Amino acid sequence: MTGAEPAPARADPPHDCARCPRLVAYRQQLRDRHPDWHNAPVPSFGDATAALLVVGLAPGAAGANRTGRPFTGDHAGIVLYGALARQGLANDRFAARIDDGLELRGCRITNAIRCVPPGNRPEPAEISACRPFLAAELTTPPRPAVALALGRVAWHAVLRALGLPATCHPFAHGAVARLDHGPILVGSYHTSRYNMNTGRLTEAMFEAVLAEARRLADAARSGV
């Protein structure tokens, strides 16, 4: 692990980022099996000046790791991008392909971990190694007014990226934390297939949290 070196301001990891040996090895396995896939750190998507930053967990193996765009190619993206379009934050062109013409409006999407982890389970050291890239997203001017964290891991990753202990603001669906130095942090359950199929999260529940995140972002940018 070589997570000590800082990330450049608002930079994505290099194509062959070597910070996490386990993720490098898994990435190589996927490259050997699927040489036509992205199989590399997935860059953030959307305008770097956006008021709202959505923070997911990590790329899915056959989703963003395959396509090279966050939440593209798996069920979680269908829920996320559909809700973004209904809130006027995307142009409703999502077709789960990187060439579908999708554009975001006032919104940007990133992940706490940029490389796909085996079993969708990153290790704590891997989250730490990728932290400088998330910190750059959260703090580089003009920083986002609101960060919407999808899931507990993303919520804790945002807090730690801002130098705060993970315990200082408990995670909950719909939780809002007004941080002293950083964006307003809003929490939601992840839009994963598991959460949707079990009913832990519904489209209505997610859209309500997204609408609140957008309202807070609009108010912050307008000075209200």
In tens, the pLDDT along 99-138 reads 999 999 999 999 999 999 999 999 999 999 999 999 999 9
pLDDT in tens, 49-105: 999 999 999 999 999 999 999 999 999 999 999 999 999 999 988 988 899 999 999
Q: Specify the amino acid at residue 43.
A: P
Report if residue 70 sits inside a domain.
yes
Q: Is the separation of the CB atoms in 57 and 79 below 8 Å? A: no
| Range in 92-96, 109-113, 158-162, 216-220 with the lowest mean pLDDT | 92-96
Report if residue 47 sits inside a domain.
yes
Q: Output 21 or 93, whichever has higher pLDDT.
A: 21
pTM of the model: 0.94
pLDDT in tens, 201-212: 999 999 999 999
Report if residue 4 sits inside a domain.
no
Report if residue 191 sits inside a domain.
yes
Helices vs strands, H then E, count in the chain = 7, 6
Q: Residue 216 belongs to what H/E stretch?
A: helix 203-222
Between CA 215 and CA 111 the distance in angstroms is: 22
Report if residue 16 sits inside a domain.
no
Q: What are the residues whose beta carbons fall under 8 Å from the beta carbon of 12, sequence distance 6 or more?
A: 41, 43, 44, 114, 133
Average pLDDT over residues 19-46: 97
Report if residue 8 sits inside a domain.
no
Report if residue 3 sits inside a domain.
no
The structural domain count of the chain equals 1
Confidence of residue 8 (pLDDT cuts 50, 70, 90): low
Q: What pLDDT shows up at residue 2?
A: 41
* CATH code (residue 60): 3.40.470.10
CA angle at 48 for the pair 202 and 105, rounded to the nearest 5°: 50
For 203-223, give one letter per residue: b (16+ CB within 10 A) or e.
eebbbebbebbbebbeebbee
CA distances 108 to 72, 111, 156, Å, are 14, 10, 19
CA angle at 148 for the pair 45 and 63, rounded to the nearest 5°: 45
Range of the domain at 98: 21-222
Q: Specify the amino acid at residue 205.
A: M
The residues facing 104 across adjacent strands are 90
The residues facing 208 across adjacent strands are none
Q: Output 222 or 122, whichever has higher pLDDT.
A: 122
Report if residue 1 sits inside a domain.
no
Mean pLDDT of the chain: 93
